Homo-oligomer: A and B are copies of this chain.
Amino acid sequence: MENFTYCNPTKIIFGKNTIAQLDELIEPEAKILFLYGFGSIKKNGVYQQAMKALKNRKVIEFANIEPNPTYETCIKAIELGRKEKIDFILAVGGGSVLDASKFIAAGIKYKDDDLWQIVTSRGSVVTSAIPIGTVLTLPATGSEMNRWSVMSKSSTKEKLSFGSEHTYPKFSILDPETTYSLDKKQIRNGIVDTFVHAVEQYATIDLNTPLQDRYAISILQTLVELAPSLMSDKKDYDAYASFMWTATQAQNGLLGCGVRLDWSTHGIGHELTAFFGLAHAETLAIVLPALWKYELDNKCKKLAKIARQVFNVTEGDEKQQANTAIMKTSAFFNSIQMPTTLAHYNIKKADIQQVVDRFAERGSSIGENQDIDAKAVEKILKMCL
């Protein structure tokens, strides 16, 4: 096991009818910047529940935060927050709204004119931030219980992550009933995102971390078990609740304690979103199987364990089981109506080059062995066609 530091101060308030607790969680005199997306929270009643709980507090709304939130949008929110001298940010929505809230919270306090430095420095220039609270409505990114934010810059087609000890939410309210109104595509995306968060921290170098390994496998087993219920039309509270908690657990830092992390599927996936506009989870479902094929020798032992422990495979030697894990993972994604090829989105061989060029420009390699360079990305993406 490697040395590690772990600290996650976010307070989680989990369960039915918990949005009303906003009243206890936010100071009565706070001036709040209330962030949300395109208004689905008005249709499912979450907006109304939150506003009721906030009582007579001064609330400034900022809506229309897009999926893969952009620097350009967030700058407007930062200007508004500065002008209004807000002292608390309430982010209500999915990972995009929550990620945006972290950039806005750090941005309002940041002294330099070039706010994109917050992202390019990976958060190291952040020395303070407006306190954030969140009401999560889409289980997927884990942003509700971590420091991380992924920001996109439309003008340069960049998509990069940053995080700081100042950007943990002070609290996050997770009411599973708010997720009843999600459509199948959102649920499917959340399942895939959570699955890939777990495997990027599991299917990597074996450093003798049996507990962390079992936690990751627990997440995968739970997702595979819950998926049919989540993708059906019934609203099974316990299934939605476990899904919500599983998504949070997959990306709150716990699985990665003492582990060498991969994150290459995310690294390549972010570029597919930046260049072609695919949803985050859609990119992961395409890249992961191909990346695993490319890294088969390195990841063989862990992939074979996924085959045995998640998909109950008993036949074959380790290498055959590793291949079966890749096949079963793709089949699992397909079973929840998630495509696993670039072809599905009409992305062709010639389109790949711009992504490869970006990795070549950066000159750095990714993955737990730092062996995935531009050349490797090209090979992997060709396997995704």
A18 CB to nearest chain B CB (Å): 7
A258's contact among B3, B5, B8, B245, by CB below 8 Å, is which?
B245
A70 CB to nearest chain B CB (Å): 32
A151 to B238, CA, bound (A): 37
Question: Which B residues are CB-close (under 8 A) to A218?
Answer: 211, 214-215, 217-218
Q: Interface 1/0s, chain A 252-278, versus B by CB < 8 A?
A: 001001100000000000000000000
Known: A211-B245, A214-B218. A238 touches B1 (CB 8 A): yes
Known: A218-B211, A218-B214, A245-B211. A12 touches B5 (CB 8 A): yes
A244 CB to nearest chain B CB (Å): 9
Question: Which B residues are CB-close (under 8 A) to A12?
Answer: 4-7, 257
Say if the beta carbon of A14 comes within 8 Å of chain B: yes
Say if the beta carbon of A45 comes within 8 Å of chain B: no
A324 CB to nearest chain B CB (Å): 22
Say if the beta carbon of A228 comes within 8 Å of chain B: no
Copies in the complex: 2
A246 to B257, CA, bound (A): 12
Say if the beta carbon of A80 comes within 8 Å of chain B: no
A27 to B8, CA, bound (A): 21
Question: Which B residues are CB-close (under 8 A) to A68?
Answer: none
Check A241–B15 contact: CB distance below 8 A.
no
A13's contact among B5, B8, B221, B226, by CB below 8 Å, is which?
B5
A219 to B211, CA, bound (A): 7
Question: Which B residues are CB-close (under 8 A) to A226?
Answer: 210
Question: Which B residues are CB-close (under 8 A) to A16?
Answer: 3
Q: Interface 1/0s, chain A 205-247, versus B by CB < 8 A?
A: 0011111101101110110011000000000011001100110
Interface size classification for chain A: 35 or more
A13 to B257, CA, bound (A): 10
Q: Please provide the chain A residues from 7 to 37 with a CB less than 8 Å away from any CB of chain B in the complex.
A: 7-16, 18
Say if the beta carbon of A113 comes within 8 Å of chain B: no
Residue of B nearest to A170 (CB): B7
Question: Which B residues are CB-close (under 8 A) to A222?
Answer: 210-211, 214
Check B6–A7 contact: CB distance below 8 A.
no
Residue of B nearest to A7 (CB): B11
Known: A215-B215, A218-B214, A222-B214. A242 touches B209 (CB 8 A): yes
A168 CB to nearest chain B CB (Å): 10
Residue of B nearest to A245 (CB): B211
Q: Interface 1/0s, chain A 185-211, versus B by CB < 8 A?
A: 000000000000000000000011111
Check B6–A242 contact: CB distance below 8 A.
no
Check A241–B258 contact: CB distance below 8 A.
yes
Question: Which B residues are CB-close (under 8 A) to A221?
Answer: 210, 214
A11's contact among B6, B13, B14, by CB below 8 Å, is which?
B6
Residue of B nearest to A3 (CB): B15
30 residue pairs from A and B, CB less than 8 Å apart? A1-B241, A1-B242, A1-B245, A2-B15, A3-B14, A3-B15, A3-B18, A4-B12, A4-B15, A5-B11, A6-B12, A6-B14, A7-B9, A7-B10, A8-B9, A9-B9, A207-B238, A210-B225, A210-B242, A211-B219, A211-B222, A211-B242, A211-B246, A211-B249, A214-B214, A214-B221, A214-B222, A215-B215, A245-B258, A254-B254
Q: Which 6 A-B pairs have the closest CB atoms?
A: A3-B15, A214-B218, A7-B11, A208-B238, A9-B9, A1-B241
